[in-house]
Structure 1
């Protein structure tokens, strides 16, 4: 078994940092963490980092900083498999199937457009020709057929006149009009539930917040007033920055999160895993 597969998560991080000649203080500045939090990761003291979601987020960011694949290190934190996966640089290129080549996709789209446009144009022109021929045939039939004599009903007393008018206006075999359905009778559509995880924050005082999802998209960025609250839905992991964090309370999917281990001065910065 190789030396890398026997090493702990903290030893792998420390060896990679020392091999690149990076000081602990530089890592703390670049990750926006405290010196003791970097040392805790390199000594495998993950319990001192708070809840597991914070520890996993710190390890993920540290591995990316050193150019390591974070998933292999996170798997070791959950319990190493029988054959641990070797840690490799995260920037290693991955071969793609020729079926996903953008040139192939563009070529197929070009062929589809080249075939579809002539077919649509042909059908459109033929529909106009057929419509024009139908209109000309109708005009010719109207000029050849003489108008039929319209029978004049015999007018009797007032009651007979009324019955003749009603018979002329309403055909005998006309179906009875269906009652109109009252407006709003349909069942209102039920809104679909929001997908992903939910972050809920409450603010005892004014606090600035920034929250990004797994794709790096900014989900929430604003100054929140005192007494306000906000719910953020998205896909983890979340990158979270909370100003005046001592006056804020957070729950993650209903679980309370202690922000105190991550407050540097007045600002808390951390990553929330799944």
Structure 2
């Protein structure tokens, strides 16, 4: 069976495409494409994360299955790392030292399954979320109102009670609600709301990293970001971001920094809407 690099090169040559034409389509430099076709994955500056991202883009461009290409990559990498150096016995055939380890079928599942497509956030969901926030705010205002009314009644009883009752004024605890009311912080929004409505999300990469951005259920971008490359997208309902290396992407929503997407070499998906971050099940 030919190696992964030979498979990619033969497929490209069968389609009569040059490395420069492929670069124009998927924005990967010819020297990186040549490294993929030569099986020289260690020469890529981004390591395994970048190699997997480049292979996924290259496979889709050539019409190959990204899962099969990544499965072949995992087999070749595991074989290169697990096979220890051995000395060839004099009586052994010369070709025994070059026999590759057993290669599983290209259809074997990848240890990193592709992320499921992001769940479309409908306008109904956004409206229900906004209604829930309004109900919660109304409940807080009602609670403060009842606390104030309760304080007035308790204070009147304490001042009119005769001394014969034998209850010290300090035991009534009438000052506790007043202190709680005085210390109650004002309700402030925890998410910057865009005055024009919707949500604006900006990404800045600190290294080579693959990302996919979906706005209002429509794919807006998919590809590699170079180190310190910045881009932004806007949506009315939600902006969803997927990446294969969360530590290499800085996020800002409505000009408010949110930090990195997730951990290093960690595949993750996050989404933001007009009212803040949306939890994706």
Same-fold call, TM cutoff 0.5? no
Identify which of structures 1 and 2 has the higher relative contact order when contacts are C-alpha pairs closer than 8 Å and 6+ apart: 1
Q: What is the TM-score when the length of structure 1 is the normalising length?
A: 0.37
Q: Which structure would you say has the larger Rg?
A: 1
Q: What is the TM-score when the length of structure 2 is the normalising length?
A: 0.36
